[in-house]
């Protein structure tokens, strides 16, 4: 006997739970946007690890800029490709197929990329050489 729960969204802001299986319904069941969560810990683990790795992006940009591999100009010029890459990564690590959750996952990553551009500007070798020349 399985004792799981089935959650589905109803028109009101409440969530109805049925003791069948865990399902998150986006829209209606006829639209086909249903995720059957057979292994909920694995889904949460993938999303957590994906977001955890994405929070390392400013550190990666820091080292790449410090060694002169990337410049702030390069990062800013390729910002549109970074947006595409961030949304692809958000779509992969997002546990549900709806675009709103994907956007919620992508926004912190875009903010971290912008922070990385600022960090790259701060530590890039050309800026350090300019500072040393002034002193």
Domain ranges (residues) in the chain? 1-38, 40-134
User: Can you give the pLDDT at residue 79?
Assistant: 95
pLDDT in tens, 98-126: 889 889 989 999 999 999 999 999 998 77
Give CA–CA dist 98/33, Å, rounded.
Answer: 8
Which band of pLDDT confidence, cut at 50, 70 and 90, is reported for residue 37? low
User: Can you give the pLDDT at residue 45?
Assistant: 73
Query: Could you tell me the maximum CA-CA distance found in the chain, to the nearest angstrom?
Result: 76
Of 56-60, 66-70, 92-96, 128-132, which range is least confident? 128-132
Measured between its terminal Cα atoms, the distance across the chain in Å is: 76
Tell whether the model's pLDDT for residue 14 goes beyond 90.
no
Residue 94 tokens read as 């997002």
User: Can you give the pLDDT at residue 20?
Assistant: 39
Please classify residue 61 by burial: count the beta carbons closer than 10 Å to its beta carbon, then call 0-12 exposed, 13-18 middle and 19+ buried. Answer: buried
pTM for the structure as a whole: 0.63
Contact of 70 with 120, CB cutoff 8 Å: yes
Which band of pLDDT confidence, cut at 50, 70 and 90, is reported for residue 63? very high
Contact of 72 with 65, CB cutoff 8 Å: yes
Alpha-carbon distances of 4 from 24, 36, 102, rounded to whole Å: 13, 12, 26
> How many CA atoms lie less than 13 Å away from 120 in the CB half-sphere?
21
Tell whether the model's pLDDT for residue 32 goes beyond 50.
no
Which helix (H) or strand (E) covers residue 9, if one does?
strand 6-9
User: Can you give the pLDDT at residue 81?
Assistant: 96
């Amino acid at each position: 006997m399985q004792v799981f729960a089935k959650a589905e969204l109803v028109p009101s802001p409440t969530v109805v739970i049925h003791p069948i299986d865990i399902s998150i319904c986006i829209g209606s069941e006829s639209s086909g946007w249903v995720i059957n969560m057979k292994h909920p810990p694995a889904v949460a683990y993938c999303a957590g690890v994906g977001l955890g790795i994405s929070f390392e992006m400013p550190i990666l940009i820091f080292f790449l800029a410090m060694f002169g591999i990337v410049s702030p100009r390069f990062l800013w010029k390729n910002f549109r490709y970074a947006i595409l890459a961030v949304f692809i990564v958000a779509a992969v690590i997002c546990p549900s197929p709806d675009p709103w959750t994907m956007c919620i996952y992508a926004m912190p990553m875009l903010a971290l990329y912008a922070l990385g551009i600022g960090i790259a500007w701060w530590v890039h070798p050309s800026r350090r050489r300019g500072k040393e020349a002034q002193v």
